[in-house]
Structure formats: structure tokens, C-alpha cells
Amino acid sequence: HGADPNARTQKQETALWYAVMNGDTRIARMLLQAGAESECEFEGHSVLMKAAYAEDVPMVSLLLAYGADPNKGNCDKWTALMEASMKGNEEMVSRLLQAKADPNLRSCSGETALWRALVNKHADIVKALLIVGAKPAKCINPRDVMVLATNLNDVSVIDQLIECGVSVNTCQDSGWSPLMNAAMNGNAGMVLWLLNHGANPSQQLEDGRTAVHVASVHGYDDIAQVIISKSTRRNKHVRN
């Protein structure tokens, strides 16, 4: 009889765990072929999660090929897709999505893969997640989504969010709007795009500040003038 590929040490580690920890795909493949469980865990972490932490795409691909569940998170319900999205690993995100990783799962703290990609400014991953059905409403704070998206400097992301039902005027709880955020960033192209797609230049914070004030305070007088011009035209159109 051969050695049991699923035997555990006194600390409950398996041979596959060591192979994954060492990034040794050759040994990992041998163990999996011999019947090692692709779902084995150690201290609340699966071998797939261990490979994801290390951003080891070949190992992740191997484990998925042998049946590892891409939706099985760690003890905090943090999944491999969340990890890859946070770190901006596009190849790993692609492999996980091909293996039917669920983009709408939430960790114990309420985070999703889409949220982590937005917060960490990974535009291409945000787009990939939205294409496969990631729901902005599942994010830990849906009202922050459009504002965060303006940090990506990619209007195609804004387009996708609009298709998902998110308004360009969706403000954070403080009243901070996507237009204000783009103005603060000095992103003239984004400001103009938002205005042309219905952004409200009159949106105010509690202290009365608008996107014009925000742009001026940060030294972007040209952007302030664009907003004023668009606002004037908009008001004339409303009156007519």
C-alpha cells in the first residue's frame, strides 16, 4: 500500500499544504493525481486560499482543475476572488471567474470582490466583475460606488455602472458627489463626461459647497469654469 496523500501531521498539515506553501506545482500535481483532497484546509484556510495569498496563478489553476471550490472562503468568508481583486491580479481573477467564482459573495465584514477592486483602483478588474454580474448594490456601502469609480479615470466603468442602475448623481452619505470627486481630482475629462451624462452641478454638501467650490479650492479654476458654463446652459434649458 502507498502512503496516504491526505495524511496529516500532528499540527494537521497535509503534504499538499506544504507543496502549495512552497509553490511546488510539480509535487502538488503528483499529490492530486494520487488522490490528495483539493479542498484540504489548515487553520481555517484552504489550499486554494493559500495559493491566492501568494498570487500563485499556476497553483490556483492546478487546484481549480482538480476540483477546488473557488467560492470556499477562509474563516472570515474571504474568498480567492476577493484576494485577487484586492491585489489587482487580473490573470487570477480571470481564472477564478472561468471556474465560476461568485462575484457577489460577501466576507464577514461585508466586502465583495467588486468593492475591493474599486477601493484599490483596479479598473480592468472592476469591468471584468461587472461583465459577469457583480452587483454594485452588494457592496458594503453602495452609495460610495459611483464616487469610487470616478477615481479610476475610465468612463467605460461609469457606463457599466449606469447600465447596472447606478446614477451619476449617487452621493455618499455626506453628500459628496461623483462630480465633486472628479473636480477634486482635477480630472477635467471625467468632469465633462459626468456633466454630459446628467451629473447635477448644483448638488451641495451640508455647508453649501458645490463642485464649483471644490474645484476652485483645489486650484482647478478651468474645471470650475466648465462646471459653471454647463450649469448656466442647464438652467437656461430648464427655464425654456
Query: How far is residue 2 CA from its own chain's centroid?
Result: 44
Taking only Cα atoms into account, the Rg of the chain, rounded to an integer number of angstroms, comes to: 23
Could you give the dihedral angle defined by the CA atoms of residues 202, 203, 208 and 209, in that order, rounded to the nearest 10 degrees? -80
Q: Whole-angstrom Cα distance, residue 124 to residue 88?
A: 9
Q: Whole-angstrom Cα distance, residue 162 to residue 185?
A: 21
pLDDT in tens, 66-77: 999 999 999 999
Q: Which DSSP state fits 8?
A: B
pLDDT in tens, 151-182: 999 999 999 999 999 999 999 999 999 999 99
Contact call for residues 116 and 89 (beta carbons, < 8 A): no
Examine the pLDDT at 11 and tell me if it is beyond 90. no
Contact call for residues 84 and 93 (beta carbons, < 8 A): yes
Q: Which cell numbers hold the place of 125? A: 478588474
Q: How large a percentage of the chain has pLDDT more than 90?
A: 86
Examine the pLDDT at 238 and tell me if it is beyond 60. no
pLDDT in tens, 78-123: 999 999 999 999 999 999 999 999 999 999 999 999 999 999 999 9
